[in-house]
Amino acid sequence: MLKAYADLCRGPANYGFTEGDIGPSESGELWYCWFPRDPVYTPVDGLDELALRELRSTVDCLANQWQLPIVFKNLYCSMRLGPLSRAFPQARFIWTRRNPVYGAQSLLQMRRQCLGSDTRWASLKPREYESLRHLTPAEQVVAQIFYIERQINKDLRRFFAQDQWREVDYDSFCRSPRETLNSISGWLERDRISLGPRGEVPQSFDAKSVRTTSPEEFDRLRQWVTKYFGETGMATEREQTIFGADGPRSRDRE
């Protein structure tokens, strides 16, 4: 079933699916050894001490194999920051943020390409999933991103010191990946975390931050992003105002 789903997702965007047994992978099945599939969000006390020890031992074995720090790229782990802070109190986190208009556009296209319908949910479910099920697809994917980012922002600040995590802008990384990686290396080396030798890094990547859907649909996505995130979309400097809210600015919530 997983292979059939992966085959559907082949195309101009592979949505994280890679080739071969040793290709890059989010290793979703590995994390399900300790974390539930549904609901995805796991509170800080959601794993017992035995599970925490097993998780820590497994990751330590992987890191010790190469005698280097190990990096995981797994969006679902953003809903597990509480237990991860208990298992790995010295961990560092890199939060990559993309303009939500293009993120929402990508989610809609993933629904259509991989699931055959823009009404079927794709990717990570935030804690507010049940309250989003009645929304239109365009609003739903924007709200999905909003509530996921709000949860990440809250839990990073709650469970980790500010110098244990940093944000990376997706488009900036794609324009200058070498500069971004140098900055990350410097950040980690200040805490005596050595990354070892680095392979060749391309000068740039195609960010694909362009409209690929109809003008009408793209405008609807932009309107929902403005409603949820504010005029600038990312609004990093006003984060406390935006993420401190209970939802869209123009909507009353209890």
- When pLDDT is cut at 50, 70 and 90, the band that residue 89 belongs to is very high
What is the structure's pLDDT at 15? 61
Distant-in-sequence, close-in-space partners of 66: CB < 8 Å, separation ≥ 6: none
Share of the chain above pLDDT 90, in %: 72
* 157/172 Cα distance (integer angstroms): 23
Contact between 95 and 84 (Cβ < 8 Å): no
Q: Tell me: pLDDT of 36 over 80.
A: yes
Q: What are the φ/ψ torsions at residue 153 (nearest 5 degrees)?
A: -60, -45
* Residue corresponding to tokens 């996505």: 221
Nearest to 234 by CA among 123, 103, 122: 103
Tokens describing residue 5: 């789903």
Phi first, then psi, for residue 123 (nearest 5°) are 75, -160
Residue-wise pLDDT tens digits, 195-229: 877 889 999 999 999 999 999 999 999 999 999 99
Maximal C-alpha separation, the chain: 52
Instruction: Fill in the DSSP letter of residue 108.
Output: H
Secondary structure string (H, E, C) spanning 125-185 = CCCCHHHHCCCCHHHHHHHHHHHHHHHHHHHHHHHCCHHHEEEEEHHHHHHCHHHHHHHHH
CA-based nearest residue to 121, from 131, 108, 102, 103: 108
Q: What is the pLDDT of residue 235?
A: 45
Domain segments of the chain as ranges = 2-16+93-243
Mean residue pLDDT of the chain comes to 87
**What pLDDT digit, counting tens, does each position of 141-153 carry?**
999 999 999 999 9
Whole-number Å distance between alpha carbons of 168 and 184: 9
The pair of structure tokens assigned to 33 is 């050894």
According to DSSP, residue 124 is labeled P
- What CA–CA distance (Å, rounded) separates 107 from 99? 13
Q: What is the pLDDT of residues 151-188, one digit of tens each?
A: 999 999 999 999 999 999 999 999 999 999 999 999 99
Note the pLDDT of residue 19. Answer: 74
Tens-place pLDDT, residues 11-28: 555 666 677 777 778 888
